[in-house]
């Protein structure tokens, strides 16, 4: 079995058998090998012993650790090695054959050391540079067929709706972004007067003062993962619907809820901490 002989100025002080896997050396009383000297750190070094092999590791001591006259941070111990800590010396004796070589010892320690849990893979963020795939509205998304109208006022067909893309709000601010397709639309109103142009103006946040024209059939606003709503442009008006987030945006100070709400001139929207105003253009 391996052992250390502690000496100072040639005088043997103690013999210590390396019977533990980890043997602490330092000035404080709790160490396995206590060296009461100011040149020795509280926890100066450790001897790690596995089967018949040992190595010494400096624990960030103030004055360092030397083996055979050379400073070391970690060293595989072989018979007759002399460890120097301050004025004290520890000579290493081991009559048993070594189980490994210095080159392979680091690998052995990695295998025997408690394995750290693997770091989780980087979370992939949802793409924000490309608009979501457009799909033709399902039958449940179509408003009721209105009475026959002149060609100029007829509601948009499914093919026309699918050709419109979601307005890219990222040019305005990080709070105004693309999002998922809207939920089913409510039934259209009977009034089919020509729909005036409309826009929303950002009143707070980094994009305060910016205006976005609602020229597309679908415009999503908000912040993915927090709050997202969609403004839909239909023949019978503009509607806002909550589509993502644990809490609902507010419309004129009241919770939007899960249903679609028609938008009126100068309605106030607050979503993802950003205030916006909906208005009809002159």
What pLDDT is stored for residue 176 in this prediction?
46
For the stretch 63-76, pLDDT in tens is 999 999 999 988 88
Confidence of residue 170 (pLDDT cuts 50, 70, 90): very low
Q: Which residues make Cβ contacts (< 8 Å) with residue 4, sequence separation at least 6?
A: 15, 16, 18, 33, 47, 83, 90, 91, 92, 93
What pLDDT is stored for residue 239 in this prediction?
92
Report which DSSP code applies to 64: -
For residue 176, the tally of other CB atoms under 10 A from its CB is: 27
- Is the separation of the CB atoms in 228 and 221 below 8 Å? yes
Report the SS3 class of residue 112: helix
Token readout for 223 is 């912040």
What pLDDT is stored for residue 117 in this prediction?
44
Top-confidence residue, 99 or 159 = 99
What pLDDT is stored for residue 146 in this prediction?
53
Top-confidence residue, 185 or 217 = 217
Q: Of the given ranges (9-18, 51-60, 122-131), which has the lowest mean pLDDT?
A: 122-131
The whole-angstrom separation of Cα 227 and Cα 129 is 18
Q: Are strands 22-26 and 11-17 parallel, antiparallel or unpaired?
A: unpaired
What's the whole-number mean pLDDT along residues 199-208? 90
The whole-angstrom separation of Cα 168 and Cα 183 is 19
Top-confidence residue, 205 or 150 = 205
Confidence of residue 100 (pLDDT cuts 50, 70, 90): low
Confidence of residue 207 (pLDDT cuts 50, 70, 90): confident
For the stretch 45-56, pLDDT in tens is 999 887 678 888
What's the whole-number mean pLDDT along residues 198-205? 92
What pLDDT is stored for residue 215 in this prediction?
87
What pLDDT is stored for residue 120 in this prediction?
52
What's the whole-number mean pLDDT along residues 84-90? 94
Confidence of residue 13 (pLDDT cuts 50, 70, 90): very high
């Amino acid at each position: 079995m391996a052992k250390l002989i502690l000496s100072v100025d040639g005088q043997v002080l103690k013999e210590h058998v390396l019977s533990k896997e980890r043997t602490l050396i330092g000035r404080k009383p709790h160490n396995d090998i206590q060296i009461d000297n100011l040149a020795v750190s509280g926890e100066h070094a450790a001897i790690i012993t596995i089967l018949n092999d040992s190595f010494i590791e400096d624990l960030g001591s103030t004055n360092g650790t030397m083996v055979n006259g050379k400073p070391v941070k970690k060293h595989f111990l072989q018979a007759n090695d002399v460890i120097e800590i301050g004025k004290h010396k520890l000579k290493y004796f081991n009559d048993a054959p070594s189980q490994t070589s210095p080159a392979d010892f680091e690998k052995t320690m990695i295998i025997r050391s408690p394995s750290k849990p693997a770091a989780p893979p980087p979370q992939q963020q949802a793409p924000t540079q490309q608009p979501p795939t457009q799909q033709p509205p399902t039958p449940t998304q179509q408003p009721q067929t209105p009475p026959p109208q002149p060609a100029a006022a007829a509601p948009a067909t499914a093919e026309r709706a699918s050709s419109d893309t979601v307005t890219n709000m990222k040019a305005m601010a990080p709070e105004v972004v693309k999002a998922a397709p809207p939920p089913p639309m409510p039934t259209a109103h009977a009034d089919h007067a020509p729909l005036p142009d409309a826009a929303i103006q950002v009143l707070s946040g980094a994009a305060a003062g910016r205006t976005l024209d609602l020229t597309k059939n679908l415009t999503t606003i908000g912040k993915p993962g927090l709050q997202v709503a969609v403004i839909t442009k239909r023949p019978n008006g503009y509607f806002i619907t909550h589509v993502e987030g644990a809490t609902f945006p507010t419309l004129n100070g009241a919770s939007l809820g899960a249903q679609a709400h028609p938008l009126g001139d100068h309605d106030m929207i607050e979503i993802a901490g950003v205030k916006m105003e909906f208005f009809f253009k002159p």
